[in-house]
Structure 1
Amino acid sequence: MTHNASPRRIVFLSLAVLGLASAAFVLRRPLMMAAPTCVAGRWHGCFDTFNGVVLMTLVLLPLAALVVWALAHRRRAAGVISAWRLSLAEVGMVHGTVPFLWLTMMPGAAPGIAPARVSLVPLRDLVTMGPLGIVGNLLVFAALGFFAPMRFAALASVPRILALGAGCSVLVETAQYVLRLDRVSSVDDVLVNAAGAVLAALASRRWWRTTAEAPSGRPRRAPAPAG
């Protein structure tokens, strides 16, 4: 079993690196536009722009990988089952979700001035999102859907991931409305966000955590000596 896990891990990490490298290549020009501002440590023009947030997400990838390694090393030393998978899932959920939440909570042109807007008619806003908007909404909770069932056995089912994605999206849309960020709180955003979480979860289904494993990542106890 150990011999099969290592090649799978290598293939998974290789595909992830290839995907990130491809995304960075496609976005290299807009990302470089935000680089001088981010390097200078200025908030405006870096953390309040799409390009700046994406750039900092990519820049922090080595740090995220280091945290995964440190957590996995500590767990393996303690004899925890699936130390690498648990550590990767925990860091992946945070690193892959926080930047998208940050982007969705960015205010529009007139925050606090423009009236709060709500769209409760399903599929009405979907036709105006465009391909980029739909892809962006699919990715908001994709990392959460991908990694959550790998970390928590209680979430290892499609209906629960659907409920998790929809619930998190409702909270975001509610926050946008309450804070009057000059953004439309739309039911279509909830639908697409939840769909993205489910699709990502299905992609990681072979690595979902099962109830047969040790709960909460605790190490197995050594069997009691006979006699």
Structure 2
Amino acid sequence: MVGSTWYGVVVVAAAALVPAAGVAIALARRRARRGAAHPWRWSFAEVGLVVGTAPWLWMILTPRGSGRSVEAVPLVGLYAQLTGDPAVAVEQIGGNLLVFAAFGFCAPLRWDLRLPLVAALACAGSITVELLQYGLAIGRVTSVDDVLLNTLGATAAALGVALMQLLSKRRQARAVA
């Protein structure tokens, strides 16, 4: 069962939200006192990136026995998930879309990164995680589909930020006109 498998991760991640908000507030206040640009946005983006990504990395790097396997042909594993148990498909596909989604959302807010760079960095991070799963032989499947889904999730989140920024600029332009 999904809930019981990851219950500890979910509890720790949820419990970390309050201290994380405190860290973001303290960091933003410190930056504001020093006259930094965008202290609140940068602080919440940095903390959000860590808090939104760390639990997923914890989950996918948690050993499930020993050994290793590889799914190197794109979309084969994804097809199997989509034609199998719907609960497993939601867990696997949804989870993989969320692994680097916080990065995709927060990184452009913090460093003004463009969509192709966010996608490239998320892809590189995902490849790194998959190689770690393989190298550590933690009983996980090293899958090209996971890389694709991780990258897609980050890219979709970054696209959402880009659209929000575009709409904000249009509203500001109309307000001035």
2:78 counterpart of 1:126: yes
Amino acid at match of 2:15: V
CA contact (8 A) 1:150 1:207 kept: no
Q: What's the secondary structure of 1:183's corresponding residue?
A: strand
**1:118 Cα deviation from its structure 2 partner:** 1.0
Match of 2:47 in 1: 91
Q: What's the CA shift string for 1:125-160, capped at 9, x where partnerless?
A: 11233122111000000001110111113xx21111
Q: Which has the higher contact order (CA 8 A, sep 6+)?
A: 2
Match of 1:105 in 2: 61
What CA distance in whole angstroms lies between the structure 2 residues aligned with 1:175 and 1:186?
12
Q: What's the secondary structure of 1:184's corresponding residue?
A: strand
Q: Max radius of gyration: which structure?
A: 1
Instruction: Find runs of 4+ consecutive structure 1 residues off by over 4 angstroms.
Output: none
**Aligned pair partner of 1:195 in 152, 156, 166:** 152
2:129 counterpart of 1:172: yes
Query: What is the TM-score with the length of structure 2 in the denominator?
Result: 0.84
Please identify which structure carries the higher helix content. 2
CA contact (8 A) 1:158 1:198 kept: yes
**Aligned pair partner of 1:71 in 8, 27, 30:** 27
Match of 1:142 in 2: 101
| Sequence identity percentage | 45
Query: What is the TM-score with the length of structure 1 in the denominator?
Result: 0.66
Q: Number of aligned pairs?
A: 156
Any gaps of 5 or more consecutive residues in structure 1? 1-29, 34-48, 209-227
